[in-house]
Amino acid sequence: MKITESKAWEAAEWEYSELQADIVAPFFSEPLSPDQIVSRLRNMARRCPQFFPAQIELGIRLLRDKRSRGAEQMIDKGFRLMMDIADPKNHAKNMDGIIENLEKIWRFDVSRPLLNRMAERQSLNADLLDSLAHAEARLGDLDAALIHVQEAIKLAPNDYGFWGNKGWYHLMRGELKDAELALKKALQIKPKDPVTSGNLEILQYLRKHGGTYWNYLERPLDRAEIEKLADQEDDQATELCTDFNDCRIEAFAQAALLKGGKDLSRLSDLLATLRVFFNFVSQINSSAFFLNEDISVLSENYRPIMHKFIFKHGDVDREMMEDVWESLQAYYCFLAGRRIVDAADFESLQKTILETKNEFLDKMEQYNAIRHDDSMSERRKEQIRHKLFGDDHCWPHF
């Protein structure tokens, strides 16, 4: 009897479908926590070790949630089971979902060998060739990236995304004429595509200033232009800030990916934490705009920012606080190394973080002890807030 026809498989399949439904639409209950999802996946994998969807998703979630020990082996086991058990007609669809989830957490180092191993068993379709090209480019092999994206184009010559990616890889190499040809071909197929149009703007910048796509991510800040647009209350000021912030984050992530090691195993969590924290700071910042690289703004307002962060986040705990501090130090260390922020400013912020860490952990624990205590009056809670945060929690902005 095939394993897919066994009672254990059918039970795991039912449980897996039920889990996906609970994740997407948790009716009459709180959303599942990451630990609850992992626990249910472990149970499925234990009861039916051949049920590869649970093995693969469990591995990816463990990679994403900092618990990476054994995660890659779990993904590898799930992949081998999929290739041996699943209908070959579904391999490409199954693989596409795996690669998409790995790309979201910047684990191109995991997706590339999986795609290469699949290519040894069967021909890759155009989408998977494009995914392999993307992984090669992110991991620094642009020759291989261009070979694979060209193979994808041969299979699907009218796919604007493949032409756009080909142009992007040429930008990474500074091959501007080849980049222009590919990007214009992408726009012929899909006019006004925002990603392709954006890459053509990058092309124009590189023509004027030289360099490659990687240099563009770390280009000098045009603060005067942003301030001018902000004074005119032009929405382009916000768009420019968002672009600079996104470019710096991508440059940081790309550097960590190429460095590998511990930085890579923590990368997904660092990026998620930075996005949450910087979004929070942007919301409580009273100025016209906020740039992540404005380290002096963070240093000068560090105390009220941390007070508001503790006050606003009902689920804040020691792990979250430690994640914030680790992420900020890793990010600004990178920017200081690239001379995007001043090294002395980074050292000053780092010193502040280290010197006040115990203070803020203590305040967090004290406030958490009364935050959800319904037996305590609101007046008494406010007295404790004032003692812990001064008036910082009273004002929406700093």
Joined tokens for residue 116? 């290469």
Given this model, what pLDDT does residue 380 score? 93
Given this model, what pLDDT does residue 336 score? 98
Q: Which of 221, 271, 228 is nearest to 243 (CA)?
A: 221
**How crowded is residue 85: how many other Cβ atoms within 10 Å of its Cβ?**
14
Rounded (10°) angle between helices 160-173 and 176-189: 160
pTM for the predicted model, two decimal places: 0.92
Cα 234-239-242 angle, rounded to 5 deg: 140
- From residue 280, alpha-carbon distances to 73, 247, 323, 377 in Å are 36, 19, 15, 28
The domain locations on the chain are: 248-394
Given this model, what pLDDT does residue 230 score? 82
Q: Which of 344, 353, 339, 141 is nearest to 248 (CA)?
A: 339
Residue 119 one-letter amino acid: A
Residues of the chain falling short of pLDDT 70: 1, 28, 66-68
Cα 350-355-357 angle, rounded to 5 deg: 90
**Phi and psi at residue 315, to the nearest 5°:** -105, 15
- Per the CB < 8 A criterion, the answer to whether 216 and 206 are in contact is yes
Predicted confidence (pLDDT) per residue in 81-136, tens digit: 999 999 999 999 999 999 999 999 999 999 999 999 999 999 999 999 999 999 99
**Phi and psi at residue 316, to the nearest 5°:** -65, 140
User: How far is residue 76's CA from residue 114's CA, in Å, rounded to a whole number?
Assistant: 8
